[in-house]
């Protein structure tokens, strides 16, 4: 922690607590005081960089307008989420992760020459209590399941914090199969923010009480449309159980989100106004939107969203939901412009599966390193991650960020060049065969997305800087 002494970190923590208390007491009356508190802190040297300060000033503008959608989301949080949970979130996310962790990540980048991530996604287990269509975990059975032990998960987090990473997400398998260990990790690392992509069916009152006790766990429930759409992919009765889990958390003023994977089949259901209103009514505060990837042998290619559907999601999120719906939406793939393209390979995030294989991304099942054999830093420096680092961004059109979904040839080049192996231990998938499944969709999206990107503010900036500098990716460094 080079730029932040423990005294300074403590001072920031006290200021954050004070700020949240003041906003809960009287939001409009105390907002100017909180603003000046943060400005004073920002002016004290190395605490906030220029980009963070610009973002802060923009957010303050939104907060002063009660009709602004971001302000409505904050009102929603203050009215419906436990104050101490919010304090913990703000402290762990904005102070520990973005500010303190960000400085440490940049230092590791500079001194070690490798990417160092903002978040690590881990599979505590391959086990799952459901059998969803199109999910690779459905291929694993009780006879061949794998788990990372509590000690192994704890070691990853301990190493990660030392390198500046304070955000840990769990997927699987169904991570709640290990819910007691997840709570133990939250308890052991109270300075980290934890989340899980969960089917929600194992969340009960006892677990919700534990969440309220540790305060640093915020699940995202996988839910894809109403009852028929959710149950047809995840099994009968799943919709009722996941909505019941939402109710349990809401009763305790615990925050949660939704994870929505859209396919060619459920697109209409997921994007309907009724469905989005249903999420608001249930108390969903954030929504991760993913597009389906045909990863795994036998994964149906016809479920890939069409280019029209992908463009439709872009419009829905930007022109409608982000202006009118008090939920924080992250539209993965289509939001590449905000992240400078693909974030995998530890550029911003990475994935560790339940066998310990360190993968660039949860959707990229190839690896040349295992966390049970190497340190985390050694994994960041692996040939596959270094190859990601060398190739990113994979396209100057940020609507085409993905080496697998949008740029066929990229993933296979990196896998062949580094000798990475398939990590699917039941049905290893040849990377060239995998890429052949996305070629037609990638070509259609290349054509459809080109004018959308060219007309967008970042697309125009990118075009201007490319002409001025000769570097098609100059805007990413801008
Ligand atoms: S590899 Fe593809 S899915 Fe993974 S982070 Fe990069 S763009 Fe997203």
Domain borders along the chain are 6-100, 114-439
Tokens read off for 409: 């040839």
CA distance 434 to 440: 12
* Dist. CA 384 → ligand 1 center (Å): 14
* Diameter of the chain measured on Cα atoms: 60
pLDDT in tens, 292-325: 999 988 889 999 999 999 999 999 999 999 999 9
Minimal CA–CA distance to 123: which of 84, 164, 174, 85? 174
Q: Tell which atom from ligand 1 comes closest to the C-alpha of 336.
A: 7
pLDDT at residue 1, as a whole number: 44
pLDDT at residue 17, as a whole number: 87
Minimal CA–CA distance to 254: which of 130, 376, 80? 80
pLDDT at residue 218, as a whole number: 98
CA distance 202 to 242: 9
pLDDT at residue 95, as a whole number: 87
pLDDT at residue 120, as a whole number: 98
170 Cβ contact list (under 8 Å, min separation 6): 121, 122, 123, 124, 182, 194, 195, 196, 197
* Dist. CA 402 → ligand 1 center (Å): 5
Asked whether the beta carbons of 367 and 420 are under 8 A apart, the reply is: yes
Asked whether the beta carbons of 289 and 267 are under 8 A apart, the reply is: no
* Dist. CA 333 → ligand 1 center (Å): 7
User: In Å, how far from its chain's centre is CA 255?
Assistant: 16
Low-confidence ranges of the chain (pLDDT < 50): 1-2
Phi-psi region for residue 356, left (φ > 0), alpha (ψ -120 to 50) or beta? left
**Residue 357's beta-bridge partner residues?**
370
Burial code of 243-277, b = ≥16 C-beta within 10 A, e = fewer? bebbebbbeebbbbbbbbbbbbbbbebbbeeebbe
Q: Tell which atom from ligand 1 comes closest to the C-alpha of 349.
A: 5
* Dist. CA 236 → ligand 1 center (Å): 31
- CATH of 114-439 given 1.20.1260.10, 3.20.20.70, 3.30.70.890, 3.40.1350.10: 3.20.20.70
CA distance 325 to 202: 28
- Pocket-testing residue among 289, 361, 438, ligand 1, by greatest number of atoms within 8 A of Cβ: 361
- Pocket-testing residue among 350, 393, 404, 406, ligand 1, by greatest number of atoms within 8 A of Cβ: 404
Which residues surround ligand 1 with Cβ inside 6 Å? 342-344, 361, 363-364, 401-405
Closest C-alpha residue for ligand 1 atom 7? 402
Burial code of 199-229, b = ≥16 C-beta within 10 A, e = fewer? bbbbbeeebbebbbebbbbbbbbbbbbbeeb
- Pocket-testing residue among 117, 261, 364, 442, ligand 1, by greatest number of atoms within 8 A of Cβ: 364
In the block, tokens 């766990």 appear at 217
pLDDT at residue 470, as a whole number: 85
CA distance 471 to 214: 48
* Dist. CA 342 → ligand 1 center (Å): 5
Closest C-alpha residue for ligand 1 atom 4? 361
* Dist. CA 403 → ligand 1 center (Å): 7
* Dist. CA 188 → ligand 1 center (Å): 30
């Amino acid at each position: 922690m080079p730029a932040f002494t423990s005294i300074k970190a403590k001072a920031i923590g006290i200021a954050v607590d004070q700020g949240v208390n003041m906003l809960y007491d009287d939001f409009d009356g105390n907002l100017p005081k909180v603003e000046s508190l943060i400005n004073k802190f920002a002016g004290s040297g190395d605490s906030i960089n220029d980009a963070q300060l610009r973002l802060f000033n923009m957010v303050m503008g939104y907060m002063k307008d009660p009709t602004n959608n971001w302000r409505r989301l904050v009102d929603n949080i203050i009215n419906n989420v436990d104050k101490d949970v919010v304090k913990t979130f703000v402290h762990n996310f904005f102070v520990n992760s973005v500010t303190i962790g960000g400085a440490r990540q940049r230092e590791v980048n500079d001194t070690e020459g490798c990417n160092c991530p903002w978040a690590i996604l881990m599979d505590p287990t391959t086990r799952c209590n459901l059998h969803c269509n199109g999910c690779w975990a459905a291929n694993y059975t009780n006879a061949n399941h794998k788990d990372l032990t509590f000690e192994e998960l704890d070691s990853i987090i301990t190493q990660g914090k030392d390198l500046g990473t304070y955000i840990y997400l769990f997927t699987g398998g169904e991570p709640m199969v290990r819910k007691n260990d997840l709570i133990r990790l939250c308890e052991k690392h109270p300075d980290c923010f934890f989340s899980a992509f969960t089917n929600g069916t194992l969340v009960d009152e006892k677990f919700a009480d534990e969440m309220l006790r540790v305060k640093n766990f915020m699940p995202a429930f996988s839910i894809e449309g109403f009852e028929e759409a959710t149950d047809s992919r995840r099994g009968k009765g799943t919709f009722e159980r996941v909505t019941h889990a939402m109710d349990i958390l809401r009763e305790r003023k615990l925050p949660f989100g939704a994870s929505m994977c859209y396919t060619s089949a459920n697109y209409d259901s997921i994007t309907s106004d009724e469905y989005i209103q249903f999420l608001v009514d249930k108390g969903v505060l954030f929504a991760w939107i993913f597009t389906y990837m045909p990863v795994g042998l036998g994964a149906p290619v016809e479920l890939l969203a069409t280019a029209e559907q992908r463009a439709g999601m872009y419009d829905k999120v930007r022109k409608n939901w982000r202006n009118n719906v008090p939920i924080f939406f992250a539209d993965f793939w289509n939001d590449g412009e905000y992240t400078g393209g693909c974030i995998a390979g530890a550029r911003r995030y990475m994935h560790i599966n339940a066998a310990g294989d360190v993968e660039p991304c949860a959707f990229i099942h190839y690896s040349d390193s295992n966390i049970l054999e190497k340190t985390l830093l050694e994994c960041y420096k692996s040939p596959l991650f270094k190859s990601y680092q060398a190739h990113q961004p994979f396209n100057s059109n940020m609507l085409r960020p993905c080496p697998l979904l949008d740029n066929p040839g990229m993933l296979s080049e990196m896998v062949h060049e580094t000798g990475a192996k398939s990590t699917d231990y039941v049905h290893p998938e040849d990377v060239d065969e995998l890429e052949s499944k996305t070629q037609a969709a990638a070509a259609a999206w290349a054509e459809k997305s080109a004018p959308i990107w060219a007309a967008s503010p970042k697309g125009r900036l990118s075009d201007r800087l490319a002409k001025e500098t000769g570097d098609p990716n100059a805007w990413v460094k801008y």
